[in-house]
Chains A and B, each alone.
Chain A
Amino acid sequence: MIPFYVFAFIAVVASLLVIAQRNPIYSVLLLIASFGALSGLYVLLDAPFVAVIQIIVYAGAIMVLFLFVVMLLNAPHEETEYDEQTHPLLRRGPMRFGASLALALGVELCWALARGGESRAFAPGSVDAVAAIGRSLFTTYAFPFEVTSILILVAMLGAVVLARRGPFDSPLILSAPKDERLAQDRPFDSPLILSASKDERLAQDRPFDSPLILSASKDERLAQDRPIDRDGGAPALPGER
């Protein structure tokens, strides 16, 4: 019983500190502590698989994503004047919404605790639960398991394509050496000539404001190249020289 109270105390205190912090980065780190304590509670409930997943996926991966979102959104410390005056969550509507959510959570907690007493522990000896999951996953559900790898693969490809330098529609030349691929950076509106050879595609670098004439023949399109300061890499603006 003592471990339960230790883990529960850590989880509750860490969760309270999450919302008490003014720096969102600290909130995320405290949420990791809360998840770790929750994982301990899962172990006490004889659910080791859930506990391990909690650590690996939530405390590890999801929290990295949270941290990343906090950094990406440039969330300010809550002590800035700007925040106190104009933060959208400090308006009346969102505050009422949050208060009603908190009230609902309180009612749910009271209801759950009032129902308590009927402790439904898992069947004893379910430490083998991981083995049971593994057996069914790799025998009965082997095909869905293999399909999952393709799902993860697609997510990987999507992430790489979304984060790649250059425009979204730049052609993918997997066979080209890396230097040539990196040299492919071109303005977003440059026309896509998938049928052109690699050298011609590389020669297509043109300034941002060049007109898109998709209907023109290839020679005409290539003749449209504006002067580009090859050494500087940037198109020469009129009046700059």
Chain B
Amino acid sequence: MREYTGIVVAFVLAGAFAAANIILASVLGPKKPSPVKAEPFECGQVPFALPIGRLSVKFYLTAILFILFDVELVFLYPWAVVYRTLGGSGLVEMVVFLAVLMVGFFYAWDNGALEWQ
């Protein structure tokens, strides 16, 4: 279990950073109460459904591309662990693998899939 100490430290630091930001925002943020703000807000009817509306298909594209590159990352992880023992052949394999994926990346890029219009 010794080798997981670094991961635990990273998780603790990440959690502490997020918590610190939230706490600092609530402590340092400006608070300007006014009588108008303190007035009770009268609501209308119970909502029939949330007015979220439709979402752009760009979210789908972003999510799918993220998942695909995430899957690519899954292969990079064991490769990085055994990289030294694999030698040159491992490097060539991964370069070929990434080259094929870069074709898709540049296709998505060229089609404006990475741009948020």
Residues of chain A touching chain B, judged by Cβ–Cβ distance below 8 Å, are 43, 49, 52-53, 56-57, 60-62, 64-65, 68, 71-72, 74, 76-77, 80-82, 127, 130-131, 133-135, 137-139, 142, 145-146, 148-150, 152-153, 155-157, 159-160, 163-164, 174, 178, 181-182
Contacts and interface: CB of A to CB of B under 8 A. Distances in A.
Contact of A138 (B61, B79, B105): B79
Contacts of A62: 67
Contacts of A57: 70-71, 74
A80 B47 contact: yes
Interface string B38-74: 0000000011111011110111110111111011111
Interface residues of B, number: 53
A145 B46 contact: no
Contacts, number: 144
B81 interface: yes
A83 to B, nearest CB: 8
A178 B108 CA distance: 12
A179 to B, nearest CB: 11
A142 B58 CA distance: 34
Contact of A72 (B55, B61, B67, B79): B55
B78 interface: yes
Contacts of B57: 163
B68 A155 contact: yes
- Sorted from nearest, which 9 A-B pairs have the closest CB atoms? A134-B78, A156-B104, A134-B82, A149-B100, A61-B67, A61-B70, A159-B64, A163-B61, A153-B104
Contacts of A164: 111
Interface stretch (B16-24, B26-34, B89-97): B89-97
B116 interface: no
28 contacts: A43-B4, A52-B77, A56-B74, A57-B70, A57-B71, A76-B50, A77-B50, A81-B46, A82-B48, A130-B77, A130-B82, A131-B85, A133-B78, A134-B81, A137-B78, A137-B79, A138-B78, A138-B90, A138-B93, A149-B96, A149-B97, A152-B101, A153-B104, A156-B105, A156-B108, A157-B104, A163-B113, A174-B107
Contacts of B105: 156
A152 B111 contact: no
A142 B90 CA distance: 9
